Amino acid sequence: MGRVLSYRDVTERVMAQKAIQESESRFRQIFEQSADAIFLFNLTCTLVLDLNQVALKMFNYEKSELIGHPPDFLFSPEECRIIHNQTSETSNETGYWVDILHAHGKDGAEMYVSVRCRRIDLADQQVLLCTIRDISSRVRAEEENRAIEAKLIQANKMTSLGVLVAGIAHEINNPNNYILVSSELLSKSWKDACPILVEYQQHRGDFEIGGVSFDVMRHEIPNLLESITDGSRRIRDIVNGLKNFAREGKKGMRDDLNVNEVIQQATTIISHQIRRNTHRFQVDIEPALPTVQGNSQQIEQVLINLILNALQSLPDPERQVRVASRYDALTSMVCIEVSDQGIGIPDNISGRVLEPFFTTRLDKGGTGLGLSISNSIINDHDGTLTFSSSPSGTTFVIRIPANRTHKINEVQKHV
């Protein structure tokens, strides 16, 4: 009887071992033949235990470079903690999807991945089985769609703004024209009346005008009238600048543009913000610049955005913002530089500042669209938007091709 039981025990153990081996074989087969990258981590997600061939190909590593090492050269420590924390709070049956994580291949290339992790029992221990899918194409397509949608929203806003500004401009221009014409007429009248009043003063002595001595007012009235005239002209220029900025641009961008005039218009529109943020605003324009072909409203929009960003970066009003234009004969490019003495752009985000929706001012209403749209506009003009930055300030440079006629003239000068 004892031999029979012993034989049965041995038989059951053999069958159990065979079942385990078959199960492990099936697991290994599924593991290696899966279309997704699969990793086995320890429960704290601090050690790579195994991975399949798809994972090796995705991240461009050799097995020996990963097994037994922490996964922090694939994922950041923070993302490893996310995987561990979420998985520890989830049942074995359901697992957990982390929809989008940043991952890095051996060559440093960044990719977006989705990760599903669950705890499993393997060889008498619990491990994390993580299925990883490269969703970079999907994420980038979504970003492109959002950028296109943002452009459409911006275009609709500009159309609405154009209608609004046209109505406001009409209401402002009418009374402002009365002020301008009247102040100019009063200035001419004062020039005629002043000698008569001076002669009267010489014979009758000093007298008051508006409660103030004529001897004082004869010098103040011209200044007051000049201030009224200058202020009225300034209102006119700002309103005209807003009308030009907000009106729908011509398709094809075939206008010959004087970049210096665009700079003047842009700085006029935001003159209040300039005065409020810095006492040291400087404009250096190179005279007789060649023209460029483009849309003046769009270039103006880019300039306004760059100048406002520069102003917002200043820690105090004593720091400078400078706008300059120049012609680069070597590349036949017209260049506009916007530089500031602000806090600079940190190295860890400098590579992302031109990306759609990236902003460091989200809490202050920033959308992350300004620089992205600006970059797109300059690209549409066959130009480039580049920048350099340090802790002492940032410089953005717009480069747009000069008109062909100027290039031909430059060549003929050297023949």
Q: What confidence tens digit (pLDDT) does each residue in 312-350 have?
A: 999 999 999 999 999 999 999 999 999 999 988 887 776
Two tokens at 347?
Answer: 């190295």
Q: Do residue 213 and residue 276 come from a single domain?
A: no
Residue 350, in any domain of the structure: yes
Residue 139, in any domain of the structure: no
Dmax over CA atoms of the chain, in Å, equals 151
Q: Do residue 413 and residue 272 come from a single domain?
A: yes
Q: Do residue 238 and residue 317 come from a single domain?
A: no
Helix and strand counts by DSSP (H, E) for the chain: 12, 14
Q: Do residue 315 and residue 383 come from a single domain?
A: yes
Residue 125, in any domain of the structure: yes
Residue 38, in any domain of the structure: yes
List of residues 6+ apart from 349 with CB closer than 8 A: 358, 360
Residue 294, in any domain of the structure: yes
Residue 398 pairs in a beta bridge with 336, 385
DSSP E strands: which ranges in 66-159? 96-104, 110-122, 125-134
* pLDDT at position 63: 86
> Please, where are the H alpha helices in 280-362?
296-312, 347-350
* pLDDT at position 246: 60
Beta carbons within 10 angstroms of residue 214's beta carbon: 19
* pLDDT at position 250: 47
Q: Do residue 212 and residue 330 come from a single domain?
A: no
* pLDDT at position 28: 67
Segment (H or E) for 267: helix 259-269
Q: What are phi and psi of 256, to 5 degrees?
A: -80, 120
Last residue of a domain, one of 77, 106, 134: 134
What CATH number is given to the structural domain containing 46?
3.30.450.20
* pLDDT at position 261: 94
Q: Do residue 261 and residue 409 come from a single domain?
A: yes
Two tokens at 305?
Answer: 């955005």
Distances (CA, A) of 207 to 175, 204, 213: 33, 8, 6
Q: Taking each helix axis from N to C terminus, what angle separates 296-312 and 370-380, rounded to the nearest 10 degrees?
A: 150
What mean pLDDT is predicted for residues 13-42?
68
Q: Do residue 348 and residue 276 come from a single domain?
A: yes
Comparison of pLDDT for 56 and 21, the residue scoring more? 56
**What is the arrangement of strands in the sheet containing 96-104, beginning at the earlier edge strand?**
48-51, 37-41, 125-134, 110-122, 96-104
Is residue 82 very low, low, confident or very high in pLDDT (cuts 50, 70, 90)?
confident
Q: Do residue 273 and residue 338 come from a single domain?
A: yes
Residue 186, in any domain of the structure: yes
Q: Using CA atoms, how far apart are residues 299 and 305, in angstroms rounded to an integer? A: 10
How many structural domains compose the chain?
4
Q: Do residue 109 and residue 161 come from a single domain?
A: no
Q: Do residue 312 and residue 224 come from a single domain?
A: no
pLDDT in tens, 146-200: 878 877 776 677 667 677 777 888 788 889 888 989 988 999 999 999 999 999 8
Q: Do residue 81 and residue 3 come from a single domain?
A: no
pLDDT in tens, 210-247: 888 988 888 889 988 988 988 888 888 777 766 766 65
Is residue 410 very low, low, confident or very high in pLDDT (cuts 50, 70, 90)?
very low
pLDDT in tens, 345-368: 887 776 677 765 555 554 444 444
Residue 140, in any domain of the structure: no
The pLDDT mean for the chain works out to: 80
What mean pLDDT is predicted for residues 384-405?
90
- b/e string for 67-101 if b means 16 or more Cβ within 10 A? eeebbebbbeeebbebbbeebeeeeeeebbebeeb
The domain of 62 spans 34-134
What mean pLDDT is predicted for residues 87-100?
60
Determine if residue 144 is left, alpha or beta; phi over 0 gives left, psi from -120 to 50 gives alpha, anything else beta.
alpha
* pLDDT at position 279: 94
Last residue of a domain, one of 79, 107, 134: 134
3-state secondary structure of 332: coil
Last residue of a domain, one of 181, 214, 248: 248
Two tokens at 222?
Answer: 């011209």
Residue 11, in any domain of the structure: yes
Q: Do residue 79 and residue 91 come from a single domain?
A: yes
Residue 139 has pLDDT above 90, yes or no: no
* pLDDT at position 21: 54
pLDDT in tens, 243-262: 766 655 544 456 889 999 99
- b/e string for 277-308 if b means 16 or more Cβ within 10 A? bbeebeeeeeeebbbbbbbbbbbbbbbbbbbb
